[in-house]
Amino acid sequence: MLSLKNISIEHPKTPLFNISYNFEAGKFYCILGRTGAGKTEILRALMGLEQLSNGEITLDDENISNRVIWKRNMALVYQQFINYPHLNVLDNVIFPLLRQKIKKSVARQKAISMLELVGLSELADRKPSQLSGGQQQRVALARALVKDARILMMDEPLVNLDYKLREQLREEFPKLIHQSPDSVILYTTTEPKEAMQLADELLIIDNGQIAGHGKPHDLFENPPNLAVAKVISDPPISFVKGHIENGKLIGSDGTILQQSGLQHIANGEVQVGLRPDALSLGGELTSRVVLTEINGSETIVHLNFSFGQAVMLLDGIHMFEADQKINVSLDTNTIMLFSLDGQNITKESN
Amino acid sequence: MAEIRLKNLAHSYNPAHQTEQDYALKPLDLTWEDGKTYALLGPSGCGKTTMLNIISGLVKPSEGQLLFDGQDVTSAPTSKRNIAQVFQFPVIYNTMSVAQNLAFPLVCRKYSDKDIKFQVDKVADLLDLTEYLPMAAKKLTADQKQLISLGRGLVREDVNAILLDEPLTVIDPQMKFELRRKLREINKRSGITMVLVTHDQNEAMTFADEVVVMQDGRVMQSGTPEILFEQPQNTFVGYFIGSPPMNFLPLKNDNGILTCDHTGFSQKMDKLPSKDQYSLGIRPEYLKITEQQNASFGIAKIIQIDDIGIDGIITLSFEDGPHIKLKTRDHKSLHLNGIVGLSMPPNKSLIYQNNNLISSNI
Ligand SMILES: Nc1ncnc2c1ncn2[C@@H]1O[C@H](COP(=O)(O)OP(=O)(O)O)[C@@H](O)[C@H]1O
Ligand SMILES: [Mg+2]
């Protein structure tokens, strides 16, 4: 187990505040957050590239906070696929093993089977420059995997690849990586769908802090706070102002958004989260279309209500003119309510 | 403002071009209406940047003509074309402030100080860069630099077209969502034609009135997002548009009757050369799970469930047969290893002959 205990870092741009978390071996952890939230900073802290101003890092209960990077038993895959340009693919994968003082013949054998695993056996003799982006990133992955490191970190590894390749590697990566039950796997991304698909456990980072963690689906259905709600969905959740009055939810213009069932929430202002699939065509709410985006099978409609702006995701293709008036309904089961300090207060138990 | 026409245009970077392979752009003919939004979509190396550079005048095509409102501008210098371009690998002037970087295209064209300030403030406000205006550009992060480069492209509103070469790659999805909307608003308000280059089909589809899908220097299909989704003219477009991609199942040709194993699909058609390859294209969005007794498209086993938020992607396997994916919002009620029935609306099943669409409305 890899543990972060009250880690803080004083960094001018992306400081970290009091991060504590236990990562278990054999699990795939995704760290999701916006650009600049502190995702890479956490990985850098783990590697010992940032001075901790507080806290400690332990691996199997042993404090590794002061260990030099190459003694931390870690492997990293970067955004920019970094391979040695002068070495062919096979030697690129052998190289980290030789540095670990593994015998050449053993290293070679390991590298060959790793290339087989990532599907690059036939390209073993090529130089990195003769490979496509996706192939280069698979070489980088093979180089990281072959070390059998206890901690495997991937920092937005797909961000520089074509979208279709990303889709393909997103399917391949977990299959390749899940073969090492002793390793902790950390994977950072800004893409909610990618994180949802890959993660066994999901951590949301916001402003240098862990804003939430848990099973992806639970975080999606029931984000603990606004910071999580703001990054967990694509298309994003819309937020409007409202207030609770005797169990009713009322929009800023007086529209009743939910008739009843909210007695457990004290009267007063709340922030209302509307999932894109919470709105559907036909109903009581009047809105004006701001913009329609069609992404093939679905239509994303940006709507102006008298209580604010919200995005509606519809199955199928629907054409609306800008400024067209349409009526929609709101599925009250998926409404999320947040207190003014950002805590999710929708459910009674909260 | 102008209509842009690429007439029998082709380009090879190799002056001694002989074979088709020498061409980064194979002969193509496209017309872009004034004021609309377009996207050039395709994998890297397919010729998107080359096409943009031909329009802006940085590259002179080796064959064919470029017309603005019917006027031949193939040999006109960049400065005469009045086109704003956001480059894939932008140059940000590190020694200048953010404001000076944004003002650069205006200063070059000798705008008055007053106009410069007005335009720069407006574009900074649009891109949420106002607080950064006095800062030195070198202090910015990669995504902020990309915004500046975008801002430089949008700062002039007296142009024929704005060409955007992958301006959103290192921007996170939340910001992308906002920017897409802002770009569309600028287009609606100003009526300037916009051409966006991207490898991300979702970005292309949501941005553009019309998407040009390219592969290997060829236009594979050009059309509205709806047409590309519903009627992909070839298997490449079926694969490239849509996430997950279109499923393709092999079809057998028995004397003019096409059948698809495991699914019960069969279709009689005229004139089907027996040497050709046939396949059935199925969008994951149209495939539905049903009770086994109501199955009209075979029985399959659920071998993977990927929950991606609102939607779930379900991978199914026919007995000893191929895999097929479907997309649904009801994924929470499904179980791994469950045996389920499938149904598929016949009019959404597309038949491909040697990778080209031959039937769409059965
Ligand atoms: N200046 C150049 N000289 C020679 N070949 C080039 C040049 N620019 C691009 N190419 C080649 O032309 C093809 C298309 O490139 P490009 O238009 O940049 O594609 P895209 O923008 O779609 O990634 C590629 O095969 C690329 O290697
Ligand atoms: Mg390009």
Task: Provide ipTM, 2 decimals.
Answer: 0.88
Q: Is the domain of B182 the same as that of B272?
A: no
pTM for the predicted model, two decimal places: 0.91
Of the candidates B109, B110, B107, which has an alpha carbon nearest to the alpha carbon of residue B120? B107
The single-letter DSSP state of residue A37 is S
- Taking a C-beta distance cutoff of 8 angstroms, is the pair B93, B145 a contact? no
Q: Phi, psi (5° rounding) for residue A163?
A: -55, -40
Lowest mean pLDDT among A75-79, A191-195, B47-51: A75-79
Query: Residue A74's CB: how many other CB atoms inside 10 A?
Result: 24
Predicted confidence (pLDDT) at residue A194 exceeds the cutoff of 80: yes
Q: Is the domain of B235 the same as that of B265?
A: no
Give the ligand with the smallest distance to the CA of B13. Answer: 1
Residue linked to tokens 């919200």: A310
CA distance B129 to chain A (A): 16
Q: Is the domain of B293 the same as that of B329?
A: yes
Give the ligand with the smallest distance to the CA of A162. Answer: 1
Please, what are the domains in chain A?
A: 2-231 (3.40.50.300), 238-349 (2.40.50.140)
Task: Supply the residue whose CA is at minimum distance from atom 26 of ligand 1.
Answer: B45
Query: Tens digits of per-residue pLDDT, A19-75?
Result: 999 999 999 999 999 999 999 999 999 999 999 999 999 999 999 999 988 888 899
Residues near ligand 1 with C-beta < 6 Å?
Answer: B 13, 24, 42, 44-50
- The pLDDT value recorded for residue B282 is 97
Strands A28-32 and A201-206: parallel
Task: Supply the residue whose CA is at minimum distance from atom 25 of ligand 1.
Answer: B45
Q: Is the domain of B255 the same as that of B287?
A: yes
For range A276-288, the mean pLDDT: 96
Among residues of chain A, what percentage have pLDDT more than 90? Answer: 74
A34/B184 CB distance under 8 A? no
- The pLDDT value recorded for residue B1 is 66
Q: Is the domain of B282 the same as that of B305?
A: yes
Between A233 and B361, where is the model more confident? A233
A297/B307 CB distance under 8 A? no
CA distance B199 to chain A (A): 6
Distance CA A332, CA B343 (A): 31
Chunked into runs of 10 residues, chain B (362 residues) has average pLDDT values of: 92 86 94 97 93 96 96 93 88 92 93 95 93 92 88 90 91 92 89 95 95 97 96 97 95 93 92 91 97 95 94 94 94 95 94 90 48
Query: Which of B239, B268, B303 finishes a domain?
Result: B239
A296/B180 CB distance under 8 A? no
CA–CA distances in Å: residue B127 to residues A47, B120, B132, B135, B147: 35, 11, 11, 15, 7
Buried/exposed code over B133-172 (b: 16+ C-beta within 10 A; e: otherwise): beeebeebeebbbbbbbbbbbbbbeebbbbbbbbbbbbbb
Tokens of B36: 């609309």
E strand or H helix at B154, and its extent?
helix B142-154
Buried/exposed code over B211-244 (b: 16+ C-beta within 10 A; e: otherwise): bbbbbbbbbbbbbbbbbbbbbbbbbbbbbbbbbb
- The pLDDT value recorded for residue B189 is 86
Total number of domains constituting chain B: 2
Query: Tens digits of per-residue pLDDT, A196-213?
Result: 999 999 999 999 999 999
Query: Which of A133, A220, A317 has its CB closest to that of B44?
Result: A133
- The pLDDT value recorded for residue A269 is 97
Q: What is the DSSP string of A243-296?
A: EEETTEEEETTS-EEE-SS-TTSPSEEEEEEE-TTTEEEEEEEEEEEEEEEE-S
Best residue among B17, B28, B49, B169 to mutate for probing ligand 1, ranked by most atoms within 8 Å of CB: B49
- Name residue B300's beta-bridge partners: B318, B340
| Minimum-distance ligand 1 atom for the alpha carbon of B44 | 23
Tokens of B360: 């769409």
Give the CATH number for residue B286: 2.40.50.140
Residues within 5 A (CB) of ion ligand 2? B 49, 88
- Taking a C-beta distance cutoff of 8 angstroms, is the pair A274, A249 a contact? no
**Structural domain that includes position B346:** 246-360
Q: Is the domain of B66 the same as that of B162?
A: yes
- The pLDDT value recorded for residue A191 is 95
A163/B200 CB distance under 8 A? yes
Q: Is the domain of B122 the same as that of B205?
A: yes
Predicted confidence (pLDDT) at residue A331 exceeds the cutoff of 80: yes
Most A CBs within 10 Å: which of B48, B147, B171, B172, as the mutation test of the A interface?
B172
Q: Is the domain of B235 the same as that of B146?
A: yes
CA distance B173 to chain A (A): 6
| SS3 label, residue B200 | coil
Residues 6+ apart with CB under 8 A from B298: B262, B263, B264, B318, B341, B342
What CA dihedral angle connects B295, B297, B302 and B303, to 10 degrees? 160
Query: Which of A133, A291, A295 has its CB closest to that of B181?
Result: A291
Q: Is the domain of B184 the same as that of B255?
A: no
Give the CATH number for residue B127: 3.40.50.300
In the chain, the amino acid numbered B275 is K
Query: Which of B239, B262, B277 finishes a domain?
Result: B239
B174/A235 CB distance under 8 A? no
Q: Is the domain of B191 the same as that of B213?
A: yes
Q: Is the domain of B233 the same as that of B301?
A: no
CA distance A316 to chain B (A): 9
Query: Which of A13, A34, A295 has its CB closest to that of B202?
Result: A295
Task: Supply the residue whose CA is at minimum distance from atom 16 of ligand 1.
Answer: B47
Query: Which of B223, B239, B255 finishes a domain?
Result: B239
Q: Is the domain of B26 the same as that of B155?
A: yes
Give the ligand with the smallest distance to the CA of B14. Answer: 1
